[in-house]
Amino acid sequence: MNCIRCLVSGRVQGVFFRAATRSKAIELGLQGRARNLPDGRVEVIACGPHERLSQLQEWLWEGPSHARVSEVICEIVQEAEAFVGFETD
């Protein structure tokens, strides 16, 4: 299984970014989680087919309508947790 970890910066907390990410990930059939970080970023870990992970990465640059994304940094992760569904913390 392919997994990525993305850190999303900008105005991404308090604008339903995690919930919207969860909805998009479920739509794409991905598993993983989205959570707020203390520094104001959102961390997204997603696992699934490469093509669908690419679609999620593109979507992260947009996010929900009230978000203002300034940066998305993604990396492939080898040792991801075993996720069932898509969670938000």
Is residue 2 part of the annotated active site? The answer reads no
Find the catalytic residue in 5, 35, 36, 52. 36
Find the catalytic residue in 5, 18, 33, 68. 18
Is residue 41 part of the annotated active site? The answer reads no
Q: N- to C-terminal Cα distance for the chain? A: 22
Residue 52's contacts (CB-CB under 8 Å, 6 or more residues apart) are 28, 29, 30
Residue 43's contacts (CB-CB under 8 Å, 6 or more residues apart) are 5, 6, 7, 8, 34, 35, 36, 37
Residues labelled catalytic: 18, 36
